[in-house]
Structures are given as C-alpha cells and as structure tokens.
Amino acid sequence: MAPPEVILMGTFTGAIYGLIGIGLSLIFTGIRNMINLAHGHLAVLAAYLALTLSSNSMLDPLICALLVVPIVFALGAIIQYGAVNRLIYRSPTIPLILFAGIASIIENVALLVWHPDPRSLAPLAPYSLLTVSLLGVRLPLIYLVGFLISLGSMLILYTFLKHTDIGRAIRAASEDPEYAECLGVDTKKIYAYTFGIGGALAAIAGIMVGLIYLFVPSDGWPYTILSFGVIVLGGVGSMRGAFVGGVILGISQQLSAYYLGVAYQYFVGYILILAVLALRPQGIFGMRV
C-alpha cells in the first residue's frame, strides 16, 4: 500500500484537474460539442499573468487571481464572440484548427514575454511552504488550499448554472440551441458566456497548479490533454464525474511518480486516458458522448 500522503496529494491535485476538466466539459456540452484546444494554454496564461501581477504588486497570487480570472473570462468571451461563433455552425471539428492557432499565439507570446525557463508562483506565496497535518499525514498546506478552492469553484458554478437566468440559458442552449433561440435566448451571447466561464475555470486551475508545480509556456498542451482526460474518465457533462475523473488522474500521477519516477507520471496518465477510450468510451460513469 502506498503511503497515504501520496493518495491524499493525488486527491488534492486531482480536484484541480477536475476543475479544469469541468471548464472543458462546460464548453464541450455548452457549445455544440466543441473542444477548446487552447484550454490548457488559457490556464498557463493565467499562471503567467498572476506571476507578473504578483511580483510587481507584491500582492499574494491568490489575490491577483481575483483580477486575472476575470481577464481570462473576458479573453475567452471575446474569442468565442469575435471568432468561433462565425465557424461553429459548420462542424465541431473546424474550431479545433482555430484553437490550434490561438494556442500557438498564447504559447509563443508567453515564450517572448516570460522566456522558456520554468517558473513558479510558490515563492510569491510564503504560506506555500507551511505544512499541515491531515488524517495523520503531513503535507504542504498549498495542496489543501488548491483542493478547497477547486471544490468551492465547483459549488459556485453549480449554483450559478442552477439558479441564474444566464445559467439556465447556458443549459438550455447546450441541450437544444435552436429551440432556446426561439424562446428569446441569444445563443451567440450565451456561447460567449459559456466559453468565458470555461476559460475562467481553467484560469483558476492554472493558478492553483502554478502554486504547486513549476510551469513553462509549452505546458498548455499537457494541461489540455489532462482536461480532456478528465472528461474521458468522468463522462462528458457530469460535474461529479469530472471531479472523480480528475481525482483518478491525480492519484494515478502521484502513484506513478512514487513508484516509477517523476518522469513516468504523464505517460501513465495518457495511457490511462487511452485505455478508457478503448474500453469504455462513454466514460467510467457511463454518460454517452
């Protein structure tokens, strides 16, 4: 049996993966089965923006997040409203190419502005060095913070989708956009909200991951794939599923890092995603694609 701390750390980072996966899932179900290929890049961009803001203002990265997350929301909404909305009606694969372009733009802007060497938000957050005791296990406080913020964000999203006009419109447009439009829902505007919110979730997750691990501009790609993995494992459109999918990925990464070495943690995660695609394409929890 693996040390409990490995499992616990996996669970906590997994919740963050769950959050970024829910962002991708929201965009997928909300906007005509479209995958945001630049999803991970939005997360990395958020981490870099928090880095710059925090190191210049000497404010805590989590406080900077209060500014960075709305910026990424706006960026996402603009991408959807200004560009993707024009292409979306042809096929769900066409926007992928546009997103590949956007991913390349974000990645290379980050390379020019922040350079390729690994960075971290941890030095800006002094509390990240503290440790806490939980269930008899000592682990860095920052893992717990990430876990709680991810759970909190999911709860807020759930309440928002359930109880607000825009939330209902997002769900309606996700199920039957043509009918929603007939009832007075401006689907193009709602898609912009959907994409913005999805991007904002990626941004929160990106900042949390940036507090725990190092990041480089090209990390966008693995983040996107992990987010996709979360919805593959958890089944698309299910928030609970995405959470569990994220936790499974998080634990599998921590376990493989522990037993095989850090170098193997991505490989094991990807193989897990492919295995689920091969054996249970509807996800572990059975929601149909």
Partner 1 sequence: MSELLLELKDISVSYDEIQVIWDANLNIKRGECVSLIGVNGSGKTTLLKTIAGVVHPFEGEIWFKGTIRIDKLSAHQIAALGIIYVPEGRRIFTKMTVKENLLVGNHLKKSKRKEMLQRVYELFPVLKERENQMAGTLSGGEQQMLAIARGLMADPEILLLDEISLGLSPIVVEQLYEKIKEINEQGVSILVVDEIPLRCLQVSHRGYIIRSGRIVFEGDSSDLLNNKDLRKIYLGTD
Partner 2 sequence: MDKKNRYIIGSSIVAIALLTLAPYFIPLYWMAFLFFCFIYLVLTEMWVLVAGFTGMVLLGIGGFVGIGAYSFVIFSTCLNWPLWPSLILSGIIGVIIALAVSSTIFRMRGAYFAMSTLVIANALFAWFSTWSYTGGGAGIVVNVKLPIAIVYHIALILAFASIIIVTFVVRSNLGLMLKAIGSDEDAALTVGVNTYTCKLYCFLIASFMISLAGAIYFLYPGFVTPDAAFSPIWLINTLTAASVGGWTNIGGAIIGVIFIITLQQFFYVNYPGLSMLINGIIIVVIFLISPRGLWPAIRSLIEKRLKRF
Of residues 147 through 176, those in contact with partner 1 by CB under 8 A are 165, 168-169, 171-172, 175-176
8 Å CB contact between 236 and 25: yes
In this structure, the chain runs to a length of: 289
Cβ 205 vs Cβ 98: under 8 Å: no
Cα angle 266, 267, 272; round to 5: 95
Touching partner 1, residues 174-233 (CB under 8 A): 175-176, 178-187
Read off the DSSP letter of residue 216.
-
Nearest distance, CB of residue 104 and partner 2, angstroms: 3
Q: Among residues 60 and 181, whose Cβ is nearest to partner 1?
A: 181
Site for partner 2 in 93-152 (CB under 8 A): 93-94, 96-98, 100-105, 107-109, 111-112
Please report whether residue 267 would count as binding partner 2 according to CB under 8 A: yes
Interacting stretch for partner 2, rule CB under 8 A, among 49-57, 138-146, 197-205, 259-267?
259-267
20 C-beta neighbours (distance < 10 Å), count? 30
289 binds partner 2 (CB under 8 A): yes
Which of residues 146 and 283 has its CB atom nearest to partner 2 in the complex? 283
Rounded CA-CA distance 207/211 in Å is 6
Is 2 a residue that touches partner 2 (CB under 8 A)? no
DSSP 78-99: HIIIIIIHHHTTT-TTHHHHHH
b/e sequence 59-86, b meaning 16+ C-beta within 10 Å: bebbebbeebbebbbebbbebbbeebbe
Tell me which of 11, 55, 120, 218 binds partner 2, using CB under 8 A: 218
Binding site for partner 2 (CB under 8 A): 28, 33-35, 37, 83, 86-87, 90-94, 96-98, 100-105, 107-109, 111-112, 218, 221-222, 225, 228-229, 261, 263-264, 266-267, 270-271, 273-274, 277-278, 281, 289
